[in-house]
Amino acid sequence: MPKVSAGLLLYRRGGRDVQVLLVHPGGPFWAKKDAGAWSIPKGEAQPQEDLLAVAVREVREETGFEVAAPFVPLSPVKQSGKIVHAWACEFDGDAQAIVSNTFQLEFPPRSGRFAEFPEVDKADWFDRATAHEKILKSQLPLLEEFFRLVL
């Protein structure tokens, strides 16, 4: 059975423009990757967990943002052997002020030394065209469905 993740595609309106918030994963593997590396804030759900509650929790853990309804469901997508469930939510927060939880990783590999890294090292608001360049390819359908719904 595939793993399940849940997250939120946060968006804001500025006049006629709509921007989406994407996060960049922390850690040494992602440090020099940009195009095709960004994601919606999301995280793994345990069996029987309410997926929308997981999505809200993961946004809080990865950004420090407290978000509230309404939530618009998007169609799930497959990403690296897991299923990602997502909802769109209008929210306007300071992307530069995120506060992310951290994880430990043996680094350099096989060195016996462990370092702590933020789960998300940065976030930013992107217009439609830029978001399409930045987001993981597996999450493109989320963006496309979202923009069909809001425009």
Cα angle: 71, vertex 52, 143; to 5 degrees: 55
Percent of the chain whose pLDDT exceeds 70 = 99
CA distance 101 to 121: 10
pLDDT at 30: 87
Higher per-residue pLDDT: 110 or 12: 12
pLDDT at 108: 84
Query: Is beta strand 82-90 parallel, antiparallel or unpaired with respect to 72-79?
Result: antiparallel
Given a cut of 90, is residue 109 above it in pLDDT?
A: no
Query: Is beta strand 3-14 parallel, antiparallel or unpaired with respect to 82-90?
Result: parallel
pLDDT at 150: 82
Domains of the chain, each with CATH number or no CATH: 3-150 (3.90.79.10)
Given a cut of 90, is residue 9 above it in pLDDT?
A: yes
In 16-149, which ranges are E strands? 17-25, 42-44, 72-79, 82-90, 102-106, 114-118, 120-126
Banded pLDDT at 148 (limits 50, 70, 90): very high
Mind listing the pLDDT tens digit for each residue in 128-141?
A: 999 999 999 999 99
* Sequence-ordered alpha helix ranges (H) in the chain: 51-63, 128-134, 140-150
| Tokens at 120, concatenated | 């998300």
Mind listing the pLDDT tens digit for each residue in 26-80?
A: 988 888 899 999 999 999 999 999 999 999 999 999 999 999 989 999 999 999 8
pLDDT at 29: 85
Average pLDDT, the chain: 94
pLDDT at 31: 85
Given a cut of 80, is residue 16 above it in pLDDT?
A: no
Given a cut of 90, is residue 94 above it in pLDDT?
A: yes
**77 φ, ψ (degrees, to nearest 5):** -125, 155
Find the length of the chain: 151
CA distance 10 to 18: 10
